Structure 1
């Protein structure tokens, strides 16, 4: 009961933050103008195709995760693994960053395998995702350098960021942490908590290093690239659903996708607010008006997250059903 209350409070806090950021981004827009923009016509077949691309990326992620798990545990059932992935995405919409733990917990429950090792494999996945995002960002910087520099110069205050690294108090905090670690290092190393953490770290390391033992590394790389191509298509195909974005190039789609992905880093449900801001701002670079960009961001974000909510609920319903005989 206590855990339920804590999670409810977390959900409400993050939802409040996300709602505030959404209001902050859209506060200057006339919602009637956005509605008029949408009333000109939206081809929802392209939006549906975007959702299909999203599902394809999630299925590919399922197979890639199986490939990481198999060397350290066993080959998991594709249905359990896919539904666990979808539950993870759904959980991230409830409490940001909870999805990674949630999908490990779900798969551990139904496959009877170590949740700690699973967490190690998820960390590997996230590191790979960071590398792929950086590669995509590099492509944008190379191919759209002038456009991106113009965007950053108008939307980022570099001086405030640099102040964090040059502040006296930053170094004081770092020094304080180092002193505390040195003082309590020996006593902590003899405690029961240390040996518990050491045991968990061993299992975590097995999961983290699983990538070395993957049999078909070529297939693993294929799925990694495929996932990110589908991520890109989730945004780009939506361009054809709106008259004002239908003529934009794939490079514009890449820029919107990458800069929008940076907005997803914010710890709010589905990047609510920051993602919209980044997408609207990046579309502005290509001559799309703020009202049109706001309408585009609203429809695309809502449809993709509606798909995650639907699949998350379906997964929660079907998981105990398909595993009933095993139970």
Structure 2
């Protein structure tokens, strides 16, 4: 059996060549990852909706949806992505050059699309796409993306603090009533958590001296230098206030994507700006889960948040299902358009 496997590998190598075999393996690996993550996301979505009566949800949706508000939500989402494109350009320019707006925008949209296929793949994908068409080091681009994500993390923490300040009693009651959050919080207060982390740090320190003598370390050191250059690009931005304003605008648009969706449904149209902010922030926490588009966790967080404001479960479930689908439909559409258009506008580089 072993000889047959070796013979098949040799035959395949002669037919396709080593490079094509590596591409084939990588493609198969990505397909397997996509299927696994999709199954996880599908299971979580089923788990969230398993106790809901789908007939009642359909009946709720049959009461009427104003799709113009959902369309406006999609347009607002595109505005946030366009602003993210300009912000990314501002980070790239100090380390290399000013990239073409079209290439950068389509790379960003492909990144969002890739995240729906394989979670957390989008950041690498958009760097790879832009590197191909703008001839910029991928490592440097990843450094700029890390700066972006740190900026977004600061904004998320700010929004969480704002919600806690405005709705502390409501949010604390919500967290205490959901045992899943209590058990998650215990993870950070457990002594064993810190013992494991300390053990990992000590093991890495011991391995560092040995690893520093190997050739992969030298290669990684060179990649780290490029990554650091991209990461430190934030110091050399020409207009730092513009960078801050774009960051604020991106998150303001994220918030309005949720808030304007309230008006698409009669049962949520009366909710306030604070309700929209709370729904947006707690829903964002659900997006942290490593599944496509927060499938499942996002729905759970949004449904639970809407219940705090008097929206019954079936109505909240219908809202979460439609809003999530509309937002991700826009990402899929723009992602596919970007994949088609990018090679056409860069024919000489393709």
Shorter-chain TM-score tier: over 0.9
2:93 and 2:156 map into 1 onto residues whose CA distance is 26
The yes-or-no answer on 1:66 pairing with 2:89 is yes
Q: Tell me which residue corresponds to 2:144.
A: 121
How many Å apart are 1:175 and its aligned residue? 4.5
The yes-or-no answer on 1:243 pairing with 2:266 is yes
Q: How does 1:154-165 map to 2 (within 5 A)?
A: 154-157=177-180, 160-161=183-184, 163-165=186-188
Which residue among 243, 257, 271 is the counterpart of 2:280? 257
Q: Tell me which residue corresponds to 1:223.
A: 246
Are 2:175 and 2:182, in contact at CA under 8 Å, matched by a contact in 1?
Answer: no
How many Å apart are 1:156 and its aligned residue? 4.0
How many Å apart are 1:162 and its aligned residue? 5.0
| More moved, 230-239 vs 177-186 | 177-186
TM normalised by structure 1 equals 0.97
Report the secondary structure of 2:42's partner residue. Answer: helix
CA RMSD of aligned residues (A): 1.4
How many Å apart are 1:217 and its aligned residue? 1.1
Q: How does 1:142-221 map to 2 (within 5 A)?
A: 142-157=165-180, 160-161=183-184, 163-165=186-188, 167=190, 169-221=192-244
Q: Tell me which residue corresponds to 2:106.
A: 83
How many Å apart are 1:325 and its aligned residue? 3.0
Q: Deviations over 1:11-50 (max 9, x none)?
A: 0000000000000000001111001001111000000000
How many Å apart are 1:163 and its aligned residue? 4.4
Q: Tell me which residue corresponds to 1:320.
A: 343
1:162 and 1:271 map into 2 onto residues whose CA distance is 20
Report the secondary structure of 1:315's partner residue. Answer: helix
- Segments of structure 2 that go 5 or more residues without pairing to the other structure are 1-23
1:159 and 1:239 map into 2 onto residues whose CA distance is 29
Compared CA separation, residues 166 and 294, structure 1 to 2 (3 A):
closer
Choose 1 or 2 for highest CA Rg: 2
- Segments of structure 1 that go 5 or more residues without pairing to the other structure are none
Compared CA separation, residues 224 and 183, structure 1 to 2 (3 A):
closer
The yes-or-no answer on 1:232 pairing with 2:255 is yes
The yes-or-no answer on 1:141 pairing with 2:164 is yes
How many Å apart are 1:159 and its aligned residue? 5.2
The yes-or-no answer on 1:273 pairing with 2:296 is yes
Compared CA separation, residues 143 and 112, structure 1 to 2 (3 A):
same
How many Å apart are 1:194 and its aligned residue? 1.1
Q: Deviations over 1:58-85 (max 9, x none)?
A: 0000000000000001000000000000
TM normalised by structure 2 equals 0.91
Compared CA separation, residues 248 and 178, structure 1 to 2 (3 A):
closer
1:289 and 1:166 map into 2 onto residues whose CA distance is 34
2:310 and 2:182 map into 1 onto residues whose CA distance is 28
2:202 and 2:258 map into 1 onto residues whose CA distance is 48
Report the secondary structure of 2:264's partner residue. Answer: coil
Compared CA separation, residues 303 and 172, structure 1 to 2 (3 A):
same
